[in-house]
Amino acid sequence: MIPPSFTYARATSVDEALALAAEHGEDAKFLAGGQSLLPLMKLRFAAPSMLIDLGRVTELSYVRDEGTYVAIGALTRHHDVVHAEVLAADIPLLAAAAETVGDPQIRHRGTIGGSAAHADAAADLPATLLALDATFVVKGPDGTRSVPAAEFFKGIFETALEPGELLTEIQVPKPASPAAWSYQKFNKRAIDFAIVGVAVQGAGRHARVALVNMASTPLRATAVETALADGASVADAAQLAAEGTHAGSDIHASKAYREHLARVLTRRALEEAAARA
Amino acid sequence: MKVELTVNGKDVTADVEDRTLLVHFLRDVADLTATNVGCDTTSCGACTVLLDGESVKSCTVLAAQADGRAVTTLEGLADDGEMHPVQRAFHEEHGLQCGYCTPGMVMAIVSLLKENPSPSEAEVRRGLEGNICRCTGYHNIVKAALAAAASSDMGASQ
């Protein structure tokens, strides 16, 4: 399969990328690692008239310790997130979730910002960043703004990014108990997307729980978190994992099976996070 | 657009459509056909090559994205007619049946061993998650990867 025709443009800096986007309007799309966008284009689910390649915008590839949080450039590859020492020490959930993305070849190309901006509810990192209360730094023609994760994911493949805006950095606060984490991913074959996934950061009353592939966006399991905060047991709280979700049925799993998985995986994740804490 | 790659140490320059995928550039322009197109959907790994020394799926990289960079295909592994240790290990361990996945498997293992020169069996299996063998020949492929890692000359080449 070959993607539909487009014009290729290459940016070497953030400013150049924004200028190209402003010049070419909504039909232009940013290309990061391309591991989601190029497959979609081959299937004709996307047909932008121009791709603005960000592959040489090296200024957006970094993992920096900023004291209370870690700043990750949007073009940092999954491979580099997996191997970042500061994340291994302070936010192991993020490094572990990144290691479950695709396969080694995909992790050599795909980027954290590309995954977040693509906003696939079935992807590992959007839900993980939601569980970690990350902040997304967005640059556009009118300047820079910060969007909390809770407001970033809007709908199916839809984010708070406006046309012409570029996600430049993801800021992840260091959790109080970094070791209290778990990422549960249920799929049939190694490289498949999660049928359901659960990211947990924290233990006891302070656990934060986010669900993969249980709605059109990644989702916090609010009912579970509230029950835990009120002192419910892990087993009782996990029973609420499907509340407020809108799981779909497809060839891989029915809605009822996904809801069952959400409850089981949430219990496992909470137990594992508590055991690691 | 004009794309200029270093493929197996040689410059290959061509004027291609913007949408040209790296795998087609390698097969149709550079005339290097060891790299196979399998699933064409970033799943099977048959098209795995090294881009600046790291494994990538060349069906999901634009030739334009690789412009100015170095690509290594299976044809570039042998040194003056002498098989690369991973190639030799595939030969000795019979790490193939039909052979279709083999070029991608070999390149994925070369990249894996560069990052982790002494992997455990579990690490090899995880490292090959992006490569599918439909003959179900994984057992000998994993044996070949471990044999290559154990061979003393692995460090010298690649």
On the question of a common fold for A7-53 and A60-173, the answer reads no
The residue of B17, B19, B35, B56 whose CB has the most chain A CBs within 10 angstroms, and thus the best one to mutate to test that interface, is: B19
Average pLDDT estimate for B81-108:
96
A265 CB contacts (<8 Å, ≥6 apart)?
A184, A186, A196, A197, A198, A241
Q: How far apart are CA A245 and CA B3, in angstroms?
A: 47
**Residue B158 binned pLDDT confidence (cut-offs 50, 70, 90):** very low
Q: How far apart are CA A255 and CA A246, in angstroms?
A: 8
Name the CATH code of domain A60-173 (choices 3.30.465.10, 2.40.160.50, 3.30.1490.190, 3.40.50.280): 3.30.465.10
Q: Establish how many alpha carbons lie within 13 A of residue A235's alpha carbon, considering only the half-sphere containing its beta carbon.
A: 0
> What residues of chain B lie within 8 A of the CB of A38, using their CB?
42, 60-62
Contact A81, A104 (CB under 8 A): no
Mean per-residue pLDDT of chain B? 95
Interface contact B60-A7, CB threshold 8 A: no
Q: Which amino acid is residue A59, in one-letter code?
A: E
Q: Which amino acid is residue A222, in one-letter code?
A: T
Edge-to-edge strand order for the sheet containing A219-220?
A: A181-186, A196-201, A208-212, A219-220
Interface contact A104-B62, CB threshold 8 A: no
Looking at residue A5, what DSSP letter applies? P
Q: How far apart are CA A140 and CA A162, in angstroms?
A: 8
Q: How far apart are CA A72 and CA A168, in angstroms?
A: 9
**Is A106 in the B-facing interface, judged by CB distances under 8 Å?**
yes
**Is A191 in the B-facing interface, judged by CB distances under 8 Å?**
yes
Residue B87 scores a pLDDT above 60: yes
Q: Where are the domains of chain A?
A: 7-53, 60-173, 181-276
The candidate with the shortest Cα–Cα distance to A276, out of A216, A207, A202, is A202
Neighbours of A26 (CB within 10 A): 10
Q: Nearest chain B Cα to A31, which residue?
A: B65
The candidate with the shortest Cα–Cα distance to A39, out of A110, A88, A100, is A110
Interface contact A8-B111, CB threshold 8 A: no
What is the pTM assigned to this prediction? 0.96
Interface contact B130-A2, CB threshold 8 A: no
Q: How far apart are CA A1 and CA A44, in angstroms?
A: 10
Q: Which residue has the tokens 């690691």?
A: A276
Q: Dig out the tokens for B80 from the structure.
A: 């003056």
Q: What is the pLDDT of residues A158-206, one digit of tens each?
A: 999 999 999 999 999 999 999 999 999 999 888 899 999 999 999 999 9
Interface contact B45-A105, CB threshold 8 A: yes
Q: Is A7-53 CATH 3.40.50.2300?
A: no
Q: How far does the CA of residue B124 sit from the closest CA of chain A (Å)?
A: 11
Q: What is the pLDDT of residues A241-266, one digit of tens each?
A: 999 999 999 999 999 999 999 999 99
> What residues of chain B lie within 8 A of the CB of A39, using their CB?
41-42, 60
**Is A9 in the B-facing interface, judged by CB distances under 8 Å?**
no
Q: How far does the CA of residue B17 sit from the closest CA of chain A (Å)?
A: 8
> What is the ipTM score, two decimals?
0.95
**Is B119 in the A-facing interface, judged by CB distances under 8 Å?**
no
Q: Which residue has the tokens 């995880």?
A: B126
Name the CATH code of domain A181-276 (choices 3.30.390.50, 3.40.50.620, 3.30.980.10, 3.40.50.2300): 3.30.390.50
Residue B155 scores a pLDDT above 90: no
The residue of A41, A49, A108, A187 whose CB has the most chain B CBs within 10 angstroms, and thus the best one to mutate to test that interface, is: A108
> What residues of chain A lie within 8 A of the CB of B24, using their CB?
2
Q: How far apart are CA A175 and CA A25, in angstroms?
A: 39
The candidate with the shortest Cα–Cα distance to A114, out of A41, A197, A30, is A30
**Is B23 in the A-facing interface, judged by CB distances under 8 Å?**
no
Q: What is the pLDDT of residues B23-64, one digit of tens each?
A: 999 999 999 999 999 999 999 999 999 999 999 999 999 999
**Is B152 in the A-facing interface, judged by CB distances under 8 Å?**
no
Q: Nearest chain B Cα to A37, which residue?
A: B60
The residue of B57, B59, B72, B136 whose CB has the most chain A CBs within 10 angstroms, and thus the best one to mutate to test that interface, is: B57
